[in-house]
Amino acid sequence: MSRLRIETPDQAQLTVERLYKDLERHIIASPPGLCPVDLQLSFLKVCHAQTCGKCVPCRVGLAQLQNLMEDVLAGKADMHTLDLIESTAQNVANSADCAIGFEAAKMVLAGLEGFREDYINHIKKGKCSVNVHHSIPCVALCPAQVDIPGYIALVGAGRYADAVKLIRKDNPFPTACGLICEHPCEARCRRSMIDAPINIRGLKRMAVDNAPSNTVPLPEKQPATNKRIAIIGGGPSGMSAAYYLELMGHHAVVFEEKSKLGGMLRYGIPAYRFPRERLQEDLDAILSTGVEVHRNTRIGNEEGDIPFEKLREEFDAVYIAIGAHTDKKIGIEGENSHGVISAVEMLRNIGEEKMPDFKDKTVVVIGGGNVAMDCTRSSIRLGAKKVIIAYRRRQDDMTALPEEIEGAIAEGAELYGLKAPHHIEADAEGNVAALWAEPQIIGPIDAWGRARPIHADVELERIPCDVIVVAIGQGIELRPFEEAGIKIKRGTISALSSSELANNEGVFAGGDCVTGPATVIRAIAAGKVAAANIDEYLGYNHTISCDVVIPDPSIDDKRPCGRIQMHETEAGERKNNFEPIECGMTKQEACQEAGRCLRCDKFGFSTLKGGRTLKW
């Protein structure tokens, strides 16, 4: 008789595992706009099902919390119910024998604090305080609210110029976003419930590769209003605002400090990711609307500058969109040594085609974001014999896109994780000799699930190097605006969500100078918002229209189908130059990928003869 037997999963266990996988995909694809109380109740039920049921706090307490929250949603609760939910959750958190019960109760307490108004609204008005509807996740998560399902359908139909027209209604930089957007729209794509999100950026690139932005006709400009708007900054936010204002009939005058337009698109993104001729496609299209540009022009109080007050006097409105073009210091000993440069300075020089000499040098890049990866991969292309990324957290905690990190490592970069900069060693002549790093260990997990590094009780580590690139963030030069009475808060301009500045009538601000360093698409969205609100401030209500007929959804089989990834040239070939590394999709691939879209927009927009008329 056997004492033991080999355990193998039975059919029930395998089915449960498959259901867990399905549940994970549904959570990943959870769209914005859901009732937070209802969503929290669903998570609580999952946690309750996972408990062992041996201790009373989990078995009884979590069940009682479910009943109380169901009363809230059913309109059967009163304000006393909220106190009862809070006390019950606190008791469960204090007495549960396992982390499952503790974490479930803590989740309820966090929800009570974070969206208490939603609970109160359910109790007093019998409905959710948010606009509860199953919105289109990709559109909701796009800062510029681009009609993504619409242009995906157009790309699938091979109507590339129409796709560019539709994109450009909300985003005048379709080429830039087709090549370098961080695609937040993919984060909640409902296709994730089946397999993987749609490659939205890849399909946008397909459109602009086959219908360059500067070859697609622009919307007709509306009659001139004789209003003039000064725009400070020729980056993505400023040029987006200028584009829409010109289409509305106002005259946009851009003041750009540098010799070329584009802002961080030109001076912060290397050519291997975004060739300058592709940037020019978007800029040419924008400039063709009649935007007036003054390059090599600085707004300030120094000799040769144009005072901010003069702009306010001579223009009907002013939009500040200066971006984040200054560096940030680490604040460690030796950072003024020769050979320590900022990421901003390095990428700006590359953008101006003043290539740094890194040949046969060892370069250490400090940081873990996309800018740090740009500096790392550029250093390799500049001939460095060794490139090291020093980051105080783990690779999993890096804020750079995973494909950027993987690309840097594939090209030969070495990642030194859990290494916090301590001080920089210089030789007798003041040149960088080494970075001394303080080893870290993983500490407590923060509220966002990110492990916080803490000091490891070991000796400092010496990393010999010739160049140190500091890529820990960017700052904003705001002194001229502060002197002009603009309110500054925590290093950024204090602006309302409408881009208006309180107590500064006719002055608007947006982009990185308001949010801090952010993504290109967020800067573009800020320019779009500013243009609409400047138009309203001037007494108008112009609309930007795009009458493009969208193909009807096809009734194809939506079974799991592999996501089409963008191809890159081999690491051994691409790392020796600044030529573009990413290849677009083929027409066959684009058609297949577009066909994966579930067309969540089918009932989301008003239709017109099989298509839609979009306005804002």
- Spell out the residues 6+ positions from residue 417 whose beta carbon is closer than 8 angstroms to its own: 391, 393, 394, 395
Rounded mean pLDDT of 341-360? 94
Q: Mean pLDDT score of the chain, rounded to an integer?
A: 91
Q: pLDDT class for 557, splitting at 50, 70, 90?
A: low
Rounded mean pLDDT of 537-541? 96
Q: pLDDT class for 609, splitting at 50, 70, 90?
A: very low
pLDDT given at position 606: 38
Q: pLDDT class for 503, splitting at 50, 70, 90?
A: confident
Residue 558 has pLDDT above 90, yes or no: no
pLDDT given at position 611: 43
3-class SS of residue 613: strand
Rounded mean pLDDT of 346-368? 95
Residue 291 has pLDDT above 50, yes or no: yes
pTM: 0.88
pLDDT given at position 405: 96
pLDDT given at position 22: 78
Task: Please give the full DSSP string across 119-156, using - where no structure is assigned.
Answer: HHHHHHHSS-SS--S---HHHHHSTT---HHHHHHHHH
Angle between helices 587-595 and 148-156 (to 10 degrees): 130
Rounded mean pLDDT of 210-232? 96
Q: Which amino acid is at 575?
A: K
CA atoms of 385 and 466, how far apart (whole Å): 11
Residue 33 has pLDDT above 80, yes or no: no
Q: pLDDT class for 374, splitting at 50, 70, 90?
A: very high
pLDDT given at position 248: 97
Residue 130 has pLDDT above 70, yes or no: no
Task: Please give the full DSSP string across 463-519, using - where no structure is assigned.
Answer: EE-SEEEE-S-EE---HHHHHTT--EETTEE---TTSB-TT-TTEEE-THHHH-S--
- Spell out the residues 6+ positions from residue 218 whose beta carbon is closer than 8 angstroms to its own: 168, 247, 285, 288, 289
3-state secondary structure 284-340: HHHHCCCCEEECCCCECCCCCCECHHHHHHHCCEEEECCCCCEECCCCCECCCCECE
- Spell out the residues 6+ positions from residue 555 whose beta carbon is closer than 8 angstroms to its own: none
pLDDT given at position 605: 43
Span 452-492, pLDDT tens digits: 899 999 999 999 999 999 999 898 989 999 988 899 998 99
Residue 133 has pLDDT above 70, yes or no: no
Span 415-436, pLDDT tens digits: 999 999 999 999 999 999 999 9
Residue 613 has pLDDT above 60, yes or no: no
